[in-house]
Each structure stands twice: as structure tokens, then as C-alpha cells.
Structure 1
Amino acid sequence: MYRGHTIGVIVPAYNEAERVGDVLATMPAFVDRIYAVDDCSTDDTWAIIQEHAAASRQAADEDTAPSGERVQASVPDGGTVVGSEIVPIRHAENQGAGGALRTGYVHARDDGVDIAVTMDADGQMDPDQLSALLDPIADGDADYAKGNRLADRVSRREMPPFRLFGNWLLTQLTKIASGYWRLQDPQNGYTAISHEALSAVDIESLPDDHDYPNDLLVRLNVARMRVADVSMPAVYDDEESTIRYSTFVPVTSVTLLRGFVRRMRAQFAVDRRHPAVLCYAAGTAALVATAAIATVGVANAVAGDPSVREPVAAALTLLASASFLLVATRVDARDNADLGVRR
């Protein structure tokens, strides 16, 4: 328990036999329950999770020695499990990063855990930083907290350049889709969510793939939940990313677009004259008109009948589109400013 709140940590794992044991063994003592979700691994991940779960059960059974001293159950890698119950869960079929996380979230919600944390099994997330992640929720300032590796210059330099650029681009797109305009590093998997927020976002329909954090942020905004960015150092070793960019990019793009439309529909349902919604719609319509006018101009030029009318008209509609979209983003950022928390 942390500051009067029960804590459940979800550890999704796929072929992490070399690291998952260390993650489970070094969990802070205030963690009440660990949901170790093996996503149908093909190595010894499941066996290691089971060993640690057995050790946690032994520690619970032998909680107090006759002398009144705490008994610590040992685990195969030399660590100890003290107090935290490990719940081993195994998928019969691989469901992806989002699917494994979804399973843990459902268990944590149904168990009534006050704050559910996600911590990857690859050792990239420092357990010593967990209290900093929990504080915004424990203080009542936020409903969801996530790590941010981009807040610190040193951490940005440690991130590989390709990841840094991709993260920056995803940050900009996710800001637009989710409405959390102060957000950075949306793909950070070190997160904490309150029971109230977890119960409000229909977690059963979370996507299976690595686009789950982007989708979750949209759901949180629709539910008007406050999100805190917590500065965290980046930790990189020799682990390999499981993201396949050939599928991640198109899938995430569709998720972001769908999420943006869902958020606009939710705002429109509340206020049919919402200025951000109207400006986004007008800007998009003007952009479509620009493309149509430009197409006509190109077709006329190819047919040997060039004219300045189409280029001028396209330039004017493009300018109108940019103006509408700029106003939309400004209004959107203003209306959602109270939902973004920086720590």
C-alpha cells in the first residue's frame, strides 16, 4: 500500500526470460499485487513467472516467523519477494502488447485495486521511480500518470536518434488526436491509472497492438480525466524492440484518426456549436476543396488549357484551411488545458 492506496503492477511479458525475474524481484515493497501476464511466450518466461509466484505465496503463508520477524521467500535468481502477491496469468494465444496489458487491467479493475501500474518486463523502467509516478494520483492532481523521457536533455540524448524522431512525431499527432496538448512521449509504457479512470474507459476494447497508449489517451480525454506527465530517465540496454514499424505506422495512424473523430463526436454531442469542432470541420472541408481545385487545374494544364484561376483559388482555400485549423488547435488546447498536469 502506498499513501493509503492499494497498488497493483501489471507486468506484460513476451519472451523476456532473461529479464522478467529481475523485474519481479525488485518490485518496491509497497506494491500489493503483481499481475504477471505471459503473452504465450516461446521461451522460459512462464516458468520464471511461476517460480516467483510460488515464492510470493510462500512468503504470504510464512508471513511471520515465531520470533515475529518477517520471513522472506527466496526466488531462483537470488532476489526476494516480500509481501507482494504475484498473480501469474498466461495467454493461450499471443494477443500482442495491448492484449497483455488489457488482461492485466481487467484483473486489477475487477480486484478493486486503487491504482494500477504498467511496467514492462524488459527492465527499462526503474522501480525506484514508481513513487514519483504514483504521487500525482495519490495527491489527487491526476487520474492517469505516465513517464516522460523527453523532459530531460540527458534522457533525450540517450534515446537513439530514430526513436527520438519517431517519438517526437507521434507526440505531435497524439496531441491532436487526444486533446492533451501538454503531453510528451505518448508511447511511454510506464504508467499509473486510478480505479475511477480505469472503470470509465471501457478497457476491454483496448487495441491489441502497440497503438494501445494512443487509444487509451483518447478514451481518457473523452471521460475528462486528468493526465500527468512525470519526468523519467530513459534506460536502454541490449533489449530489442518488438515493434514492427511496417504494421505499427499504418495501424497507429488509423487509431489516431479514429480517436480524433471519436473525441470530436463526443464534444459535438455535448455542444453542437463547439468552436473547435466547427473550425476543425471547416478546415478539413477547405483542405478537401483545395485538393479538388488543384486536381482540376492539373487536368486543364495537361489538356492544354492552363489557367491562373485554379492555382489562385487553390491558394486561397489552402490559406482558409490553415487559418481554420490553427484556430481549432488554439481553442482545443485552451479547452483541455486543465486536463494536462506536469510534474
Structure 2
Amino acid sequence: MYKNLSITVVIPCLNEEQGIEKVLSRMPEFVDEVIVVDNGSTDRTADVARSFGAQVIREGVRGYGRSYKKGFSLATGDVIVTLDGDHSYPPDAISYLLEAYLHLEADFLNASRFPVRDRRAMSFKHKFGNLVLSVVMSLLFFRWIHDSQSGMWVFSRKILKDMILESDGMAFSEEIKIEALLHPTARFEEIAIMYTSRLGEIKLNPWRDGFQNLFFLLKKRFARR
């Protein structure tokens, strides 16, 4: 519990044996529930997660968004916190983010990776791609977003029921932010965090995923609700 709020952390994983150990070893004690969604790992990701007391759920259909939707469906906390299993997002920043979430009276808090202070954490190509996608999203939805592709969020579980979440892939990251912005009563806020270089293999395909996310933004903007 954190200030009378139960906290669930949801972590999607695909072959993150090295990173998940680092993440879970730094998980704050006040977190009530940790759900690791194993998206078909062939290494010891699931075993390592269980050894730290995490609830491991297997999602057989590959996809970043698919994993998150599975994890969210099983979350029981008042507040859901997300981060990746590769140790690029700081688990010990969760208390800092929760304080900001409460202070700003937010319903959805996005953890922006910018400015990137660790030079090894993100290549110029990835920075440029993120900038393009964030600018396009900001223009389409009339709200400046510093980091449309961030994978660390803090939000009230109750707003999920009003969200239309369709993406099973990497576009899920921008989609959930769009849904928070379009939510009739939710307050969207953003705050910067420290982002570091990942552990393990890189699974993002910058050109393919970048163009798919750009197309998804346009589709989401002009789709009927």
C-alpha cells in the first residue's frame, strides 16, 4: 500500500532473464502485486520472476500490447504502474512517480524519458523517431506530449473500463496515452524520469515499428468512436 492505495506493477517480458532480476530486486516494498507477463520467453525469465515472488502469467500470442492487456485484466490494485523488464526504467523511481501522481491529482501520469541523460540509453535514430511520433501525436490530439512512446506509466485502474485499447503491438504505448487524453474525466500529466541503457537483446525494429506507429496515430485520430 502507498498512502492507502494498493499498487500493482505490470511488466511485459520476452527473454528478459538478465533484466528482470535487476528490476525485481529493486522493486519497492510497498508494491502489493507484481504481475510479469511472459510473452513466450525461451530463457529463464519466468523462473527468475517467480523466485522474487512475482505472479507470472503467460501470454502465448506475441505482442507488447497483447501482454499489457493480459496483465491489466488480472491487476487488482487501485493504481497500476508499468515498466519494461529490461531495466531501462528505474523501479526505485516508483515512489517519486506516485508522489507526482498524487500531487498533480492525475489519473494518468506518463514518465517521459526526455531529456535523455544517459548517452548510451538511446541512439540518435531512436531519439529522432520518438520526436517525430511525439510531435505528430501532439498535433493530432491538441496536447503537447514529450514522450509518446514511453513505456512507464502510473494510472488509476478504474479508467481502463472507459478505454478502447485495440493495438496488440508496440503502438499500444501511444494508444493508451491517447485514450487517457480522450477520456471524459481523466487528468493526464507528464513528468521526466531517468532512462538508462537496457540489459539483453533489443527487440524494437525502429523503421518497421516507427512507420507502423505513425500509421496507427493517423488511424486512431480519424477512427469513429
Q: TM-score, normalised by structure 2?
A: 0.90
* Deviation for aligned residue 1:246: 4.4
1:220 aligns with 2:184: no
Please name the residue that 1:9 is paired with: 9
For 1:218 and 1:124, the matched residues in 2 are separated by 23
For 2:83 and 2:22, the matched residues in 1 are separated by 12
* Deviation for aligned residue 1:23: 1.3
Please name the residue that 2:160 is paired with: 198
Please name the residue that 2:73 is paired with: 106
Q: Name which of 56, 71, 77 aligns with 1:88.
A: 56
AA aligned to 1:227 is F
Q: Which has the higher helix share?
A: 1
Given that 2:15 and 2:41 are in contact with CA atoms closer than 8 Å, whether structure 1 keeps it comes out as yes
Residues 195-251 of structure 1, C-alpha deviation per residue, up to 9 Å, x if partnerless? 23222214xx44111110111122222213221111111211454331123431332
Given that 2:87 and 2:199 are in contact with CA atoms closer than 8 Å, whether structure 1 keeps it comes out as no
Given that 1:179 and 1:221 are in contact with CA atoms closer than 8 Å, whether structure 2 keeps it comes out as no
Please name the residue that 1:302 is paired with: none
Moved more, 185-194 or 154-163: 154-163
Q: Name which of 208, 224, 245 aligns with 2:206.
A: 245
Matched residues, number: 224
Say which one has the larger Rg.
1
Closer, same or farther: CA 21–116 of 1 in aligned 2, 3 Å = same
Consecutive unaligned residues of structure 2, counting only runs of 5 or more, are none
**Aligned 1:55-134 pairs, distance under 5 A:** 86-91=54-59, 93-108=60-75, 111=76, 113-134=77-98
Given that 1:200 and 1:223 are in contact with CA atoms closer than 8 Å, whether structure 2 keeps it comes out as yes
For 1:153 and 1:250, the matched residues in 2 are separated by 22
* Deviation for aligned residue 1:136: 3.5
Consecutive unaligned residues of structure 1, counting only runs of 5 or more, are 54-85, 267-343
AA aligned to 1:15 is N
Given that 1:117 and 1:190 are in contact with CA atoms closer than 8 Å, whether structure 2 keeps it comes out as yes
Point out 4+ residue stretches in structure 1 off by more than 6 angstroms.
none
For 1:141 and 1:115, the matched residues in 2 are separated by 13
Identity of aligned residues (%): 26
* Deviation for aligned residue 1:153: 6.5
Given that 1:142 and 1:228 are in contact with CA atoms closer than 8 Å, whether structure 2 keeps it comes out as yes
Relative contact order: is structure 1 or structure 2 higher (C-alpha 8 Å, sep ≥ 6)?
2
For 1:209 and 1:187, the matched residues in 2 are separated by 12
Given that 1:156 and 1:164 are in contact with CA atoms closer than 8 Å, whether structure 2 keeps it comes out as no
Residues 133-190 of structure 1, C-alpha deviation per residue, up to 9 Å, x if partnerless? 222332362111111121x473579632111111111110111233322x11111111
Given that 2:109 and 2:155 are in contact with CA atoms closer than 8 Å, whether structure 1 keeps it comes out as yes
1:28 aligns with 2:28: yes
Given that 1:10 and 1:35 are in contact with CA atoms closer than 8 Å, whether structure 2 keeps it comes out as yes
AA aligned to 2:219 is R
Q: Name which of 81, 101, 124 aligns with 1:137.
A: 101
For 1:116 and 1:23, the matched residues in 2 are separated by 16
For 2:100 and 2:206, the matched residues in 1 are separated by 33
* Deviation for aligned residue 1:117: 0.6
Q: TM-score, normalised by structure 1?
A: 0.61
For 2:39 and 2:152, the matched residues in 1 are separated by 18
Q: Name which of 177, 184, 207 aligns with 2:167.
A: 207
